[in-house]
With several copies, the nearest count.
Chain A
Amino acid sequence: MLAQFVPDGTAPSPIQYLAADGALAEGVTPSMSDDEVRAGLRLMMLTRAFDTKAMSLQRQGRFGTFSQVTGQEASIVGSASALDPRIDWVVPQYRELPALLRQGLPLSSFMLYFMGNLAGSRIPDNVNILPIQISLAAQIPQAVGLAWGLQLQQTGGVVIVYFGDGASSEGDFHEACNLAGVLKAPVVFMLSNNGWAISTPRHKQSAATSLAARAPGYGFPGVVVDGNDLLAVHAVTSEAVARARAGEGPTLIESVTYRMGPHNTADDPTRYVVASELDAWKPLDPIARVQRHLTARGLWSDDQCQVVEAELSAEIEEALVVARAAPPPSASQLFDHVYADAPATMLRQRAARLGVTA
């Protein structure tokens, strides 16, 4: 064939540090300290516990449509843990709760958002995150612009932007990667390949054997990592963050993981998920894997697990109390943050809505 660029027949094997049984691969040195691993595990467990809670709140009608993280905790926590929340930024899609928490977002704020209260949209000052993005891939150009701005102002900060395998088919992905390559912007593209975009399986999303194979087309490296492996994700992301911080430009990380539940609370995956595929992923659970790893090294036990679970459940309840104590939504909230100074036309509309005179 007359062609210099021929696609690989199969995807390269993802970088792995921890085997499914928790054993550390030979010859690798983890980039996380034991304390960091324990902190990561705690955050993963919090997320998992919150998923269950959110699901039940949604069923009771007290929570809006919500997408669980279940199965993808290592991917999000391992990558976000490679950041310095004081100077680095997280630009999320919508399935990255633990990354937001690690950056400093109060859980109660996240809850308020999903309770449909605009107060939950208020990102506290000094929490370096962008709002949850519902318009798929729209956050990727924004992340590149943010990274570029940090670069121009020489803050030393790095941006990590999350998006799904589905979102990676949008034009915004391409435009953003290409610009980032040209600018050598300090950004890490974190592609969470969880096998699905609602009902669309990964193989119908793209004929590329590996989505990370796109990176050279933008002039920067692409990595495929085992997304259910906290240590591998952290190592790969840390390296990408270090490169970005050093001015060496972006990296595309394809984190291969699996969405273990429905797309969101409105979805019925039994219509399309093949049970055998789901079953094959069950033993690869990212939380159990870290627990096995730590247990084998004497750093974790069932007792500890129960203590932590109790703590987390209390934490969630506390956050829920805070969220519920927030003032209820009001009509005036509609108008408060549309413009810095509401123009006369808007003041009139506001007055009419509130039943008062402008």
Chain B
Amino acid sequence: MTATTNHADTPAFTETMTMIEAIRDALTLEMARDERVVVLGEDVGVLGGVFRATDGLQQRFGERRVIDTPLAEGVIIGAAVGLAVSGLIPVPELQFLGFGHQAFHQIGQQVARFRFRSQGRHPMPITIRSPFGGGVRTPELHSDAFEAMYTNTPGLKVVTPADAYDAKGMLLAAIRDPDPVLFLEPLRGYRLVSGEVPTGDYMVPLGRSNVVREGDDVTLIAYSAAVQMCMKAAGVLSSEHGVSAHVLDLRSLVPLDVEGLVAAVERTGRVVIVHEAPLTSGFGAELAATIQREAFYSLQVPIERVTAPDTPYPLGGTEDFYVPQISDVVRGVLTAMER
């Protein structure tokens, strides 16, 4: 901890923050900077969100800018469209991504297309925030990783940070982006993942991946909570198997950093993609398809995908059999190495 809130606008100062604190910090900073920003959703006001992402915002910015809505995801997102048309910058929260299905028609067909449908007249500077992913024994439908279907939705950006620094910097970039962004927050990272975060204003540009570990034998490609898992797997691979893993954090699924992806693949020629969502048509499919097209002649072995199986997300007791574990990543890498 190197700074107090007195120095909040001096980027040089940093503080240790959990991801949830970093997210809250970004929201607070941006609401203070730009009064067009409004936060809306279920329980975001008085309670400060079920994970406290919006804690303190209503006290500070008032009930007009931080609104507890009725319980209806379709109108939370649909109203955000209208708020954006009126000139505001809405930051709606979906309490869990599983409940984005209730708003799917508003997200996929309206938010994502409104700029196009009005041929530029009505841009949609909306940032939809939502926790997603599992590993923490939530009730049904609270843990699903539904990101892939949103990436099949032209007009929408889909991004997800893996650490606290990116959480803040990417959220600031998302809110300021003139286009709609689905900002996915790794639920299990909220309190577990923490790091040094500048107390001031900074942005992590959307659409650029990040090499979080350099290595020479195999390339692990991941995003969100899976990045931490890959880092741990890389540790095991190095210490127990003498395998040196290169780890790429995608950060942004749409737009995809094809250059960064190809560079990471070319580094080793062996690729393991890791995500929590089921295999079939998970985002790993797009990654593998892109890689085999753009880096075909660098690939020494088939791309492996380490993912959940094609089954519904189960109850907590079965969760660890479902969500990929470090050992699954290690096994995937060893498969790629042995070929």
Contact = CB atoms under 8 A, between A and B. Distances in A.
Q: Do chains A and B touch in the complex (CB under 8 A)?
A: yes
Interface of A: 64-65, 94, 113, 115-125, 130-132, 134-136, 138, 140-150, 152-153, 155, 159, 166-167, 169-172, 174-176, 178-179, 182, 197-200, 204-206, 266-267, 271-272, 328-331, 333-340, 343-346, 349-350, 353
Contacts of B72: 169-171, 174-175, 178-179
Interface of B: 38, 42-43, 45-48, 50, 64, 68-75, 77-88, 90, 98-99, 101-102, 105-106, 109-110, 114-123, 137-142, 154-155, 157, 177-179, 207, 254-256, 258-259, 279-280, 309-312, 314-319, 321-322
A123 B123 CA distance: 12
B120 A179 contact: no
Given A152-B64, A175-B75, A346-B309, A65 B86 contact: no
Contacts, number: 258
A329 B106 contact: no
Given A141-B106, A198-B42, 10 more contacts: A118-B119, A142-B110, A144-B75, A149-B84, A178-B70, A334-B318, A338-B310, A339-B155, A343-B255, A349-B309
B38 A152 contact: yes
B47 A142 contact: no
B279 A349 contact: yes
Contact of B85 (A130, A330, A335): A130
A52 B319 CA distance: 26
26 contacts: A64-B139, A116-B316, A117-B318, A125-B121, A130-B85, A134-B139, A143-B82, A144-B79, A145-B81, A145-B86, A149-B83, A149-B87, A152-B88, A166-B70, A169-B72, A170-B71, A171-B102, A175-B78, A178-B72, A267-B50, A272-B47, A334-B322, A338-B154, A338-B311, A340-B115, A353-B309
A333 B318 contact: yes
Kindly list the 3 A-B residue pairs having the minimum CB-CB distance in the complex, ordered from nearest. Answer: A141-B78, A145-B82, A149-B86
Nearest to A340: B178
Contacts of B105: 135, 138, 172
A209 to B, nearest CB: 15
B324 to A, nearest CB: 11
Contacts of A328: 317
A121 B82 contact: no
A154 to B, nearest CB: 11
Contact of A145 (B43, B45, B79, B310): B79
Contacts of A349: 279, 309-310
A123 B83 contact: no
A116 B317 contact: yes
Contact of B255 (A146, A167, A182, A345): A345
A134 B141 CA distance: 7
Nearest to B108: A135
A166 B47 CA distance: 16
Contact of B315 (A116, A150, A166, A171): A116
A336 B312 CA distance: 11
B71 A142 contact: no
Contact of A176 (B78, B85, B123, B315): B78
Contact of A141 (B75, B99, B315): B75
A153 B43 contact: no
A172 B72 CA distance: 9
A179 B70 contact: yes
Contact of B86 (A140, A150, A272): A150
A124 B320 CA distance: 26
Contacts of A65: 137-139
Contacts of B259: 344
Contact of A335 (B101, B141, B309): B309
B71 A337 contact: no
B122 A130 contact: yes
Contacts of B312: 338
Contacts of B316: 64, 116
Given A146-B86, A169-B70, A178-B70, A123 B122 contact: yes
A118 B318 CA distance: 7
Nearest to B110: A138
A356 B229 CA distance: 25
B86 A198 contact: no
Contact of B82 (A141, A170, A200, A353): A141
A200 B118 contact: no
Given A144-B82, A145-B80, A170-B102, A199 B43 contact: yes
Contacts of B46: 199, 271-272
Nearest to A352: B309
Nearest to A91: B82
B115 A339 contact: yes
Contacts of A166: 70-71
Contacts of B82: 141-149, 159
A202 B106 CA distance: 25
Contacts of B122: 123, 130-131
A333 B312 CA distance: 11
Contacts of A344: 207, 255, 258-259
Nearest to B142: A134
A120 B117 CA distance: 10
A142 to B, nearest CB: 4
Contacts of B137: 64-65, 116
Residue among A147, A175, A344, A350 having the largest count of chain B Cβ atoms under 10 Å? A175
Contact of B81 (A141, A159, A170, A338): A141
Contacts of B50: 198, 266-267
Contacts of A121: 116-119, 315
A185 B223 CA distance: 40
Nearest to B98: A135
Contacts of A338: 115-116, 154-155, 310-312
B139 A343 contact: no
B116 A204 contact: no
Given A116-B318, A197-B71, A266-B50, A336 B155 contact: no
B334 to A, nearest CB: 13
A115 B319 CA distance: 12
A350 B45 CA distance: 43
A203 B276 CA distance: 39
